[in-house]
A and B are shown apart, each in its own frame.
Chain A
C-alpha cells in the first residue's frame, strides 16, 4: 500500500541531519560497520510505527525509544529528534507526510489527514515486520520449534488463534478437573446413604424394599416408584416425631462409627500405604532436581499470571506491557516448562485414589461428629474437627500443587489419623451404646428420616456431578472442534507458505538444489521446519546447509510469509544486512528473485559489503540514484555520505580537485569490478587463474571483445531470419561500441602506457579526463538505460540464445535460422 518517497532524519539515533530521496523505488544503503546504516532503518521504523524494535525487543532491558531514540547530544530534547517521511499510498493515489518526534512518538502530524490515510497508517504500524534483520531471520530458520512457532505466529498475526486455543484448553482442563471432586462427593454421598439404608448396593428396588419395610411398620403406604422428588418420609407427621430427650438414631450412629473405623483402618493398610510411599518417592525424586522443583512453582505462577493478564500491565509487578506481548511472553515461558507440567499431571493422577480415601474419612468423621453433638449430653469432638480442618487444608495444598516441597509435606500427614481422633470415636461409641435401644417404630422413623436426608445429598451430588460432566463434555467438544478447525486452517496456510518458500529457494539455488523441498509441520504450540539436503533426507536447516544457504532460507521464508500476510499490501520491506553470508552468485539470484516475484514491493536494503551493493546495481535491482553510501561516522557529524551517488560523479569530483590519483584509483577499482561482472554476464572467455586473482587487463578487453562479438552474432542471427530492421539496429549499436572502444584504446592495452592504469596517476587532468570520458561512454553502451542492469547472455550455460537486459527492453536473438549456417 505504501512506498517511501523521501526520509528526513534530524537528531535521531546516530544521525544529525540527513535526507534521502528514495522516490518510491528500491534503495540500497551501504557502508562499513558503524557508519549509520542501522540508524536509517531505525528511523524508517520509527517514522512509520512510532517505535524501534531494536530498542524494545528481547534483551533490551533499560533501553527505550523515549530515552535513547534522540541523538546522544539531544537526549534531553526529544522534541528535536524528528523523522519526517514522505510516503505515497498507491491505493489512494496520494502522497502523505508523516512528521514524528520522539517526544510525541505516538501522535505524529500527518498531512493531509483523512480516515482512509489513518486506517492505512494504523495498519502499517501494526506490521513492523516490514523490517527484517538478521536476528529475525535466524529466529525463523534456526530457532527451536516452539520459538519458531511464536515468531512466525506473531508475523502471521496468529497470536489470537493461539490465545483462543490456550483459553479453551484451560477451560476444558478446569472443567475436567472439576469432575473428579464431584465424583468423590457423589461416591461419598452414596456410601453414606447405603450405610443409612443398610443395603450393600444402591438400586431403586433395594432402596424401596428397605424403606417400604419401615414405612409398613409405621403404617404408611408403600412407595411404588422412586422419582427425583420422592420423599421416603412422605406421610410422617407429628405423631411419628421422636421424643426430644434422644434425638439421635442409635443404630445409625453405630453404623457410622463402624464405617469411620473401617475407613481409618483401610487408609492405613498396605495397599494405600504402598500408593502413598510411591507418590512420596516420586515427589522426592522430582524435588531432588532443583530445576524441576522450581519449575513446578514457576509453572503454576505463570499459568495463574496468564489467566490474570487482562490489562496492559503485568498482574504481578504492575509493569506496563502491551497485553498481547505480555501473554506471548508468559506463554513462551510456559512452553519451556511443558515437561514439568507433564510430570506434575502424572503425579496428580496417582494421588487421586489417595485423596478419595481421605475424603471418605472426612465424610465419615463428620457424620460421627453429628451424632456426638446431637446426643444428650453432647460430646466434644475437637480433635476430629481439628483433624478434618487440617485435612481440608492439605487437600487445598495438594490441589494447588504450588510446590513439590509443600505438596509432599501435605501428603505426609494425610494418611495418619491421630490417636486422639480414634479416642473420640471410642467415647462417642460408648455414649451411643449407653442409649436405650429404640422401639421398632422409633428405629423405623429414624431410618426413614436419615435415609431421606442422605438421599437428598445423593441427589444433589448426582446433579452436581452431572453438571460437571456436562460442562467437561461441552468444553472438550468446543476445544476439540476449535483444535481441528484451527489445525486444518494452519496446516493449509503452512502448506501454501511451504510451497512458496520451496519455489523461492529453488529459484536461488537452481544450479544444485533444483529439486529442493521443505516441510513446515505445525503441532500444538510448535512449528517444525525441515529441509531436504540433496535428496539424502529431511533435516533442520542448520544441520547440514551452509550459513549462506541458511541466510537464503531465512529470506525466502520471510518473503513467503509476508506474501501470505500482506498479499498485495506487501509494498515495503527493509532487509537490514540479512545476506551477509550469501556468496556473489546467490546474491545475484536474490536480486532476480526480488525483481521477478515482488515487482510491486519497494525493498530497502542495507549492507556493509560494497560488492553486494554494486551487484544490486548491475542486476538492476536498484537504479543509478537508488542508493546511499556512507564512508564514515562520527558522534559529532553522524554518517558521512559519499559526495555523489554515481562513481562517475565521484571521479569528476576528484578531477575537479585535480586529484588525479584519487580519480585514477576510483576508475581502476570500478573497472575491475564492472569488468568481472560483464565477463560473468556475457560469458566472456577469460584466461583461467587458479587463484581467481584476475587483473583489469585480464578482464576488460575480454568483456568488451565478447560484447562486440555477441552483437555480431546477433546481426548474423537476424539476417538469417530475414529481419533487416533488427539487423540494422544492431549494426548501429555495434558501430557505436566499436567507436567507443576505439576511444578507450583498449585494444592497445598491453602496449600503450596511456591506456594502462598504472600510468593513469601520472597523467595531467587534461590527459586523464578524456580517458574517463571514453570508459564512461563505452560502459554506458553495455548497460540498459531503462533498468540500469547490465546486458547478459541467456541462458547462462549451454548454447547461447539471446542477449538481454533485465527489463526486456533489449532482447537480441542469437539463434540463427536452421540451415542458415
Chain B
C-alpha cells in the first residue's frame, strides 16, 4: 500500500535508530542493546520502568 506511509519526517525514530547503532559501537553488552532496541523502537513512549528492565535484563544476585 504505497500511499499509507505518512509523508512525514519521523525524527524521533531516526534518532532512536542512530542511538542503537552508536551503542553497538561501544562495549555495552549486546543483550542490553537488544533489550533497549526492543523497548525504544517498539513502544512509542517507553516508560522509565521498561527502560530500567532493559538496562538490567539478567539481574544477578550479588
Binding site for B on A (CB under 8 A): 1, 91-92, 115-116, 119-120, 123, 127, 156-161, 163-164, 167-168, 170-171, 307, 310, 323-324, 327, 460, 463-464, 466-467, 471, 474-475, 477-478, 481-482, 484-486, 489-490, 493, 564-569
Contact = CB atoms under 8 A, between A and B. Distances in A.
Nearest to A94: B3
Contacts of B26: 477, 481
B55 A474 contact: yes
Interface residues of B, number: 34
Interface in B5-61: 6-12, 14-16, 18-19, 22-23, 26, 28, 32, 36, 40, 44-49, 51-52, 55-56, 60
A489 B7 contact: no
Given A115-B1, A158-B12, A567 B7 contact: yes
A123 B9 CA distance: 12
Contacts of B16: 160, 164
A278 to B, nearest CB: 34
A171 B62 contact: no
Interface of B: 1, 3-4, 6-12, 14-16, 18-19, 22-23, 26, 28, 32, 36, 40, 44-49, 51-52, 55-56, 60, 62
A467 to B, nearest CB: 5
B47 to A, nearest CB: 5
B18 A565 contact: no
A160 B28 CA distance: 23
A156 B15 CA distance: 13
- Say what secondary structure dominates the interface of chain A: helix
A388 to B, nearest CB: 24
Contacts of B11: 156-158, 161, 489, 493
A474 B32 contact: yes
B8 A123 contact: yes
A481 B40 CA distance: 14
Contacts of A116: 1, 3-4
A327 to B, nearest CB: 8
Nearest to A167: B48
Contact of A565 (B4, B9, B28, B45): B9
Contacts of B23: 478, 481
The 3 closest A-B pairs by CB, nearest first: A569-B7, A463-B62, A160-B12
Given A160-B45, A164-B16, A171-B55, A564 B9 contact: yes
Contacts of A323: 45
Contact of B6 (A123, A324, A477): A123
A161 B44 CA distance: 10
Given A163-B45, A489-B14, A1 B55 contact: no
Point out which of A471, A474, A475 has the most chain B C-beta atoms below 10 A from its C-beta: A474
A564 B10 CA distance: 10
A119 B12 contact: no
B32 to A, nearest CB: 7
Nearest to A170: B48
A555 B25 CA distance: 42
A88 B56 CA distance: 50
19 contacts: A91-B3, A116-B1, A119-B6, A120-B3, A157-B11, A159-B45, A160-B44, A160-B45, A161-B11, A164-B51, A171-B48, A171-B52, A460-B62, A463-B62, A474-B28, A485-B22, A486-B19, A489-B15, A569-B8
